[in-house]
Amino acid sequence: MLRWLTERGTAPLVARAGDPGGAFRRDGQEYVLDPGDPEQCAQLLDAAREEQGSGAPGDGATPLRVLDLWSGRGEIGTGNDGGRPEREPVPAGFLALAHALGRSATPVELTLVTRAAYGVTGAERPDPLAACLAGAAHVLPLELEHIRLRVADVDPGEWAESGESGLRALAGPLAAEKPAERGADPVAAYRGGHRWTRRFLPLARGGETPALVPGGTYVITGGLGGAGRHLATRLAERHSARLILVGRGAEECDALDGDPRIVVRRADVTDRARMAEVFREARTRFGALDGVVHAAAAPAGGMLQFLTPGALAEGLSAKVAGTYALVDALEAAGERPGFLALFSSLGSFSGSVGLAAYCAGNAFLDTFAVHASRTLGIPALSSTGTAGRAPGWRGRWSGGTGS
C-alpha cells in the first residue's frame, strides 16, 4: 500500500506498532507508538491533523483519512481444531483508536481492513473473530457523528495464490475506498478482483422442510431468558420436544412447571467441562441430541469510546468464548447434533448505539455459523430476528469490476 501511494506522488503519514509500553516517537518518516494506548493514538491523530491540514467540523477542512491495516491483521485459523481463539476478538489497538477518535472533533474517514470476516464466494475460510471486529466498528459512526466508516474485507487465501501481484492489485481499490453514507451498510468485500456489496432481502416463509424432529432432544443455553424460554415453550407445545434449559444462575430442577420433558441445569456456557456434562446427561436422559440452541448473552452496554478491555471482554464472553466452548464440549461428549442454532441480532449488521459488545458478538455468531458449516462440518445457522417479532433476513452479495 505504501509503495502504491508513494509511486503516485502521495506522502501518507505512516504509523508503526512499537513495543507495548513504549513511548510515542517519530522515527524518520514514520510514527512509532504502542497501538493499545489511547493517549498515544490521540497523539497520532493530532500529529496527522497538523501534517495533513485537517480541522474541526464546520470549518471546511478536509476530513482526515485513516486506513487501519493493523487492527484486523490476526492470522486465520489460529487455535485448536475447534477454532478456539488465541487472539483478542476486538484488538486493544482498535479499542484504543476508538477512544482517541472520541476525544477529538476532527472529522475522520476511517477504512478498516478486515481479513475473511465474511463468507462471500464460498472459497474463503471465514474468520469469526474478524467479523467480531467489524461488528464493533459498525457502531462508531452511530456514536460519533464526525466519524464515517468503510469496512473493506479481503481474503488472505487469495494472497497465497497470487503473491505480491495480488497485494498490489488490492492497493489501488483500498486506497480509493470512500466511507459509506449515513445509514448505508459500510461493508465492501474484495474477492477475485471484484468488489462485492451486501443487500438484504425478506426471507420467504415456508418452502423448506423443518429441521425439528417430533419428540426430539434439544439443549438451549440461555434457556431461562426471554427468547430462550419462549422458544422452549414453543418446542414443547408444538413438537413434544424434550429439553434441557441451561442458565448460569438457574435453579436446577428435573421437571420445570411439573413437566418431566423439561429439565433445568445450572452451567456457565463458557465452561467446556460443565457443558460436556450437560450434553452427556441429555443423551442419557432423553437420547441423542437433535439440536443445540445458543441463546445465552451477557448483559453489557456502553459507548465504544468509553469501554475498557475488561468490560468489552465480559460483554463478548457468552457469545464468543461460549460458542467455542459449546463446540469443544460437543466434541468431548462425542455428540454430533442435527443442528447448531445461534441467536444473533439485526444489530450485527445495522449497529446500535451503546451496544458495541452486543453488536460485535452477534456479528461473530453470523460468521461462526458459516465457519462451522464449511470448516467444522456442523450444520449451523444464525438467527437475526429479535424475540420472534422481527422478520428473518438473508444476505445476498453482489459484485462487479466497477466501484
- DSSP assignment letter at 305: G
- DSSP assignment letter at 186: -
Q: Is 52 exposed, middle or buried (0-12, 13-18, 19+ CB in 10 A)?
A: middle
Of 202, 236, 268, the last residue of a domain is 202
Is 226 a member of any domain? yes
Is 300 a member of any domain? yes
Structural domain containing residue 91: 2-202
**58 pLDDT higher than 60:** no
Can you tell me the distance from the alpha carbon of 165 to that of 327, in angstroms, rounded to the nearest whole number? 38
Of 148, 177, 202, the last residue of a domain is 202
Indicate whether this model's pTM tops 0.75: yes
Torsion sign (Cα): 91, 306, 363, 197: negative
* Residues sharing a CB contact under 8 Å with residue 269, sequence separation 6 or more, in sequence order: 221, 222, 246, 248, 275, 294, 296, 318, 322, 325, 326
Predicted pLDDT at 401 = 37
Cα atoms in the 13 Å half-sphere on the side-chain side of 355? 17
Predicted pLDDT at 209 = 53
In the chain the first and final C-alpha atoms are separated, in Å, by 18
Can you tell me the distance from the alpha carbon of 244 to that of 216, in angstroms, rounded to the nearest whole number? 11
What's the pLDDT band for 86 if we cut at 50, 70, 90? low
Of 202, 230, 264, the last residue of a domain is 202
CA distances from 268 to 94, 245, 278 (A): 28, 12, 11
Residues 166 and 61 in one domain: yes
Is 221 a member of any domain? yes
**119 pLDDT higher than 70:** yes
Predicted pLDDT at 26 = 93
Is 403 a member of any domain? no
Is 398 a member of any domain? no
Residues 375 and 348 in one domain: yes
Predicted pLDDT at 10 = 84
> Rounded to the nearest 10 degrees, how much is the dihedral formed by the CA atoms of 21, 27, 32, 38?
90
Q: Give the model confidence (pLDDT) of 149-204 as tens digits.
A: 999 999 988 877 777 777 888 888 998 899 998 888 899 999 988 999 988 877 77
Query: Averaging pLDDT over each range in 68-82, 254-268, 384-398, which range is the top one?
Result: 254-268
Question: Where residue 112 sits, what CATH number does that domain have?
Answer: 3.40.50
Structural domains of the chain, count: 2
Residues 175 and 239 in one domain: no
Torsion sign (Cα): 212, 215, 221, 227: positive
Segment holding 170, helix H or strand E: helix 164-176
Calculate mean pLDDT across residues 138-146: 93
Q: Give the model confidence (pLDDT) of 340-397 as tens digits.
A: 999 988 888 787 888 899 999 999 999 999 999 888 888 898 887 543 333 334 445 5
Least confident of 50-64, 72-86, 125-139, 167-181: 72-86
